Amino acid sequence: MGRPKVPLISKRATLEAALRIIDEEGLEELSIRRLARELDINGASLYHHFRNKEDILLGSAQLALEEARLLDSPDVSWRDWFIDQARLYRRALLDHPALVTVILKQHPHRIALEFYDKAVRILLQSGVPRPAIIPLIESMESFTFGSVLYTTAAQNDTEDLDESFEALNEARHAAAAHVDDEQLWECIARSITDAVLAAGWTRAAAHENIPTSSHK
């Protein structure tokens, strides 16, 4: 059967099905044949919307990141806005951990250009020096992506180690009982934000002609 002249299903419906397969069965299970079977169509029909499987993976990643919607401009503290936005991004990644490698392969900015462009504009309007913005974003991304990968791996590793590693086992149990992953993430995220500004603020302020005492 050849490719039909009229698409049998919408692009978004296709991506929703692809994302469902990735989330429930794993990245390796997604194929043109598997997706076509899920949608009850001929595989050739998918080429109305996509060039290849890689196109579908990128589209699925973009769809997953829609959950990390851009928040309105900050009313008080741009730092709080920045952390809240990063938290949404982290939650979207935790909901779809199999796509982390797909996003990193392309570089996160390339997956959601409009999102990042608007975020930069908001930070500029909030008084963040232009040279500091990309280091802020990339430092937060590096930490968040690593956090998601590690958290996902830890969630899948629930068995105790050999009894000879008693100290490590006890430390793992203590952390599970007393440490809230999201609170820990936020604590470190805020420290990263402050550290990036402390490291680059003087030089950034000089370039932007902004007094160092003006940052909030």
- Render pLDDT for 32-57 as a digit per residue (tens, 0 to 9): 999 999 999 988 889 888 999 999 99
Question: Of the given ranges (25-39, 61-75, 98-112, 155-169), which has the lowest mean pLDDT?
Answer: 155-169
Residue 125's alpha-carbon distances to 13, 17, 78, 81, 130, in angstroms, are 37, 38, 10, 13, 10
Tell me the CA end-to-end span of the chain in Å, nearest whole number.
Answer: 63
Residue 182's alpha-carbon distances to 69, 137, 144, 195, in angstroms, are 19, 19, 11, 20
Mean pLDDT calculated for residue range 172-192: 89
Go through the domains of the chain in sequence order and give each one's CATH number: 11-64 (1.10.10.60), 68-214 (1.10.357.10)
Q: Which tokens in the block code for residue 58? A: 């990128």
Neighbour count for residue 93 (Cβ, 10 Å):
25
Per-residue pLDDT tens digits for 116-168: 999 999 999 999 989 999 999 999 999 999 999 988 887 777 677 778 888 98
Q: Which tokens in the block code for residue 164? A: 């000879």
Closest CA to 3 of 32, 30, 34, 28: 32
